[in-house]
Amino acid sequence: ASPQTDVPVEDDAVHVIKVEYLENGPLFSELKFYQRAAKQEQIRKWMSLKKIRCLGIPVFWGSGLTEYKGKSYRFMVMERLGEDLQRIFEDSGSRFKKETVLQLGARMLDTLEYIHENEYVHGDIKAANLLLGYANPHEVYLADYGLSYRYCPNGNHKQYQENPRKGHNGTIEFTSIDAHKGVAPSRRGDLEILGYCMLQWLCGKLPWEQNLKDPVAVQTAKTKVKNVAGKRRFCFKSSEIAKFLACVYGLAYDEKPKYQVLKKILLDGLESSGARYDGPLEFSAAARTRDHCAAKVSKVSKTQSCWTCCEMSVPSYLCLETPRMQKPRFCL
């Protein structure tokens, strides 16, 4: 490594070094994840088993300790990656095409299944932690395992236990309902976070984003979505994310998700759109029409009607049935 920290990385560099103070906890947690669960031979076997060409976990090359100007540091040598999705999302008008959202969701689902099978959860899935490949920008990688958690050490799943003192950890707009309650991360939490990410990428924003400074209000909003998920009526053609979240909400804390069922939901949406799981990722600005927001009112009983919240820029790929005179604060 060079002491010239202000010198830009050369275009042909294939490695990068992540450096933090020795006492930094997240980098230590990330290092342990790579050493235990992300050996390249493990990943190659998994890819062969699942018949996929890219798993989406960055290549870890090594680590070490060093000193600089009297201070101790830990470092990791990693594969160089490209742009993060958060920057691309903002440059695309804060909205991705439906096909791109489903591609990203299906690929991340494969990545999470591998992580979960190796006793870990990620805990902080978001666009800022998703990076495109440097050599191949049509590949996407889940990075930053500083909040990764070994939920099932030696095959023993952690017990469900709420702890208000640890509540609301993670990135507040995406964090799971369990995390709001201070419960240790689990597989269903990772999938719930992924669902919220897909929802934001498709919609442009989440229904609770105006309350991010109030974690309790965000938790309440997410809980309301969960509570009505089983009563929904699909009345918009883009129901895949709604179905995905409904399946995730139905999982028990320690239940193994049916990854292939969840993936099929997303793949069916891709097929109906004429897109492919491993097709090129297209990030051109999404059409700013009301197609994603236009309501298609379903046939409901005389005492019910279907409301939408286009004024919140939330698309009605799912409309929730409510009593006619009781308009919900938000719907999806």
Q: How many residues are given for the chain?
A: 332
Q: How far apart, in whole angstroms, are the C-alpha atoms of residue 267 and residue 271?
A: 6
CA atoms within 13 A on the CB side of 6: 0
Q: How far apart, in whole angstroms, are the C-alpha atoms of residue 201 and residue 102?
A: 10
246 to 17, 124, 249: CA distances (angstroms): 40, 20, 5
Question: Among all chains, which residue has been given the structure tokens 């791109």?
Answer: 100
**Spatial contact of 280 and 138, defined as CB atoms under 8 Å apart:** yes
**Spatial contact of 322 and 307, defined as CB atoms under 8 Å apart:** yes
Amino acid at 293: C
Q: How far apart, in whole angstroms, are the C-alpha atoms of residue 328 and residue 306?
A: 10
Say which of 110, 124, 144, 190 is annotated catalytic. Answer: 124
> Catalytic: 124?
yes
Question: Among all chains, which residue has been given the structure tokens 């103070």?
Answer: 21
Phi, psi (degrees; rounded to nearest 5) at 246? -60, -40
Phi, psi (degrees; rounded to nearest 5) at 251? -80, 140
Q: How far apart, in whole angstroms, are the C-alpha atoms of residue 244 and residue 236?
A: 15
* Extended beta strands in 80-116, E state: 81-84
Give the residue numbers marked as catalytic.
124
